[in-house]
Amino acid sequence: MGTVSIKDFQKLDIRIGTVVKAEVPKWSHWVMKLTVDVGPSGSETDSSTSTGRSGRKSNTIIVFAGIMKHDKPEEIEGKQFPFVVNIEPKKIGPEGDFSQGMMLAAAPAAQKPSDGGQADLDEGEGKPVLFQLTEKVPNGTKVR
C-alpha cells in the first residue's frame, strides 16, 4: 500500500450528513441511492460551479452506496454517517445518475471456508460496517 502525504489527505472534505431518503433503484443489484443533507448552504461543501453539482439543492447531495445487500433503506433513513463531499461526481447506473459523494464504511474481509477446513480471508468482500456516531451533530460537521 502506498503512502499519502498529509497535504493530500487534507484535500478530502469529510462531513457528517443525514440520510433524508434511501431507495433502491429498479436497475440496481448492489447500490442504494441516498439523498444526504450535508449541511447548510454557504458552507465549504457548496461549490456547485467547481464540482459540476449545479441544479441541486445547496444542502443535499446524491450518493450511491454499495450497501443494499446488507442494509434496508428504512434502516438508513434519518441516520448520520460520514461522507466525502468533494469527490468528483461519478456516473452510476443506466439512467445517467451521478454519485456526488462517497459514504465511508469499514470493509472487513469475508471468511470463506477453504479446502483445509480453515477460513480464508477475502479482502473487502464482507458486510460493510457503517460508522455510527455516539451523539447527533449538526449536518456539515467536519470530520478531522
Q: Judge whether residue 81 has pLDDT over 80.
A: yes
Angstrom distance (rounded) from CA 94 to CA 135: 38
Q: What is the CATH number of domain 8-130?
A: 2.40.50.140
Residue 99 pairs in a beta bridge with 90
Please give the pLDDT value at position 121: 44
Name which of 34-43, 45-54, 72-81 the model is least confident about.
45-54
The alpha carbon torsion through 4, 33, 39, 42 (nearest 10 deg) reads 90
| Set of cell numbers at residue 105 | 464504511
Q: What is the pLDDT of residues 40-65, one digit of tens each?
A: 865 443 443 334 344 444 589 999 99
Q: What is the pLDDT of residues 109-140, one digit of tens each?
A: 776 655 554 444 445 567 889 999 999 999 99
**Host H or E run for residue 49:** helix 48-51
Please give the pLDDT value at position 107: 86
Picking from 92, 79, 96, the residue whose alpha carbon sits closest to that of residue 16 is 79
Which residue shows C-alpha cell 470463506?
112
The set of residues, in sequence order, having a beta carbon less than 8 Å from that of 133 and lying 6+ positions away, is: 16, 80
